[in-house]
Amino acid sequence: MSIFEGAGVALVTPFLEDGTVDFPKLKELVEFQIQNETDAIIICGTTGESSTLTHEEHLECIRKCVEYVNGRVPVIAGTGSNCTETAIYLSTEAQAYGADALLIVTPYYNKATQNGLIAHYTAIAKSVRLPIIMYNVPSRTGCNIQPETAVALAKNVENIVAIKEASGNISQVAKLMSLANGCLDLYSGNDDQIVPILSLGGKGVISVTSNVIPRDTHLLVKKFLAGDVSGALELQLKAINLCNALFCEVNPIPVKKAVALMGLCGGTLRMPLTDMEPQNVERLKKAMQEYGIL
């Protein structure tokens, strides 16, 4: 059984102006997502600025998210690290707090060989009982999980069950799904490629855009999985300009601005991320207005 089918939101982490985590706003964001039919909540991923959270903040965000969600949808905790022992620590704590699954990004900066990736993911998986989604995003990590490696992990490690694919390489994803032959669930990691990923057997998306349009992103996947491919395609194409605007600067700078424009939370970022350039703010506002959000 899949961890979830549909659209899971890669949730932003709201900060107060002094830079501390705004937990009341985090609760409001969770409620907004659930009310708008999001299928899972991914806490402390890249979009959640996990790289600038202390371990204490990271774990408290996971604990609070589990509390706020209260079993209504799966909570998937981002607990990856470029240090295997750190990833094990965060993962075991997230399990203790009641997370439903883990999202583990490939090691970044120090990277790893394919054998290193197998050792890294296997060690983390053996430390917990929770199902694990591998996260492949080579544009940010400099490290690519080859299809053969992902399939070997899925076949040999019981609780490695899925992959979030954000390589952007559809040919690689097609090869992956051919080799997997059903042993690995696939989630899109790119909001402009949801329909193509679903057409290759994907179960859904882990979405940045869902911070802004959770119901439509949910509906896109729901339509496709129900056989309404043309309806899903219509929603995919409708969202392309918005997706492009949400990635016109490095994620999560634009989506943080978007949720602020919607009045969902403040747009405070942690350095080294800085405020969005004025011309890009105007581009984002225009895309949101065209979509009907503002």
Q: Tell me how many domains the chain contains.
A: 1
Query: Does residue 254 lie within any of the structural domains?
Result: no
Query: Does residue 97 lie within any of the structural domains?
Result: yes
Residue with tokens 């490629």: 193
Which residue type is seen at 139?
A: S
* Interval 92-128: pLDDT, tens: 999 999 999 999 999 999 999 999 999 999 999 999 9
Cis peptide before 278 (omega within 30 of 0): no
Query: Does residue 107 lie within any of the structural domains?
Result: yes
* Interval 168-189: pLDDT, tens: 999 999 999 999 999 999 999 9
Q: Annotated active-site positions, please?
A: 135, 164
Q: How far apart (Å, rounded) are the C-alpha atoms in residues 247 and 249?
A: 5
Query: Does residue 287 lie within any of the structural domains?
Result: no
Which range marks the domain in which residue 72 is found?
Answer: 6-228
User: Could you tell me where the beta strands, DSSP code E, fall in the chain?
Assistant: 6-10, 40-43, 75-78, 101-105, 132-136, 160-165, 185-188, 204-207
What's the whole-number mean pLDDT along residues 218-243?
A: 98
Query: Does residue 283 lie within any of the structural domains?
Result: no
User: Which residues does 230 contact at the CB level (< 8 Å), separation at least 6?
Assistant: none
Residue 15 has pLDDT above 90, yes or no: yes
What is the reported pLDDT for 7? 98
Name the DSSP class of 137: -
Query: Does residue 118 lie within any of the structural domains?
Result: yes
* Nearest alpha-carbon partner for 201 in 169, 224, 219, 218: 224
Supply the CATH number for residue 204's domain.
3.20.20.70
Residue 136 has pLDDT above 90, yes or no: yes
Q: How far apart (Å, rounded) are the C-alpha atoms in residues 10 and 39?
A: 11
Coil, strand or helix at 161? strand
Cis peptide before 272 (omega within 30 of 0): yes
Residue 1 has pLDDT above 90, yes or no: no
**Does the pTM of the predicted model rise above 0.75?**
yes
What is the reported pLDDT for 142? 95
* Interval 38-96: pLDDT, tens: 999 999 999 999 999 999 999 999 999 999 999 999 999 999 999 999 999 999 999 99
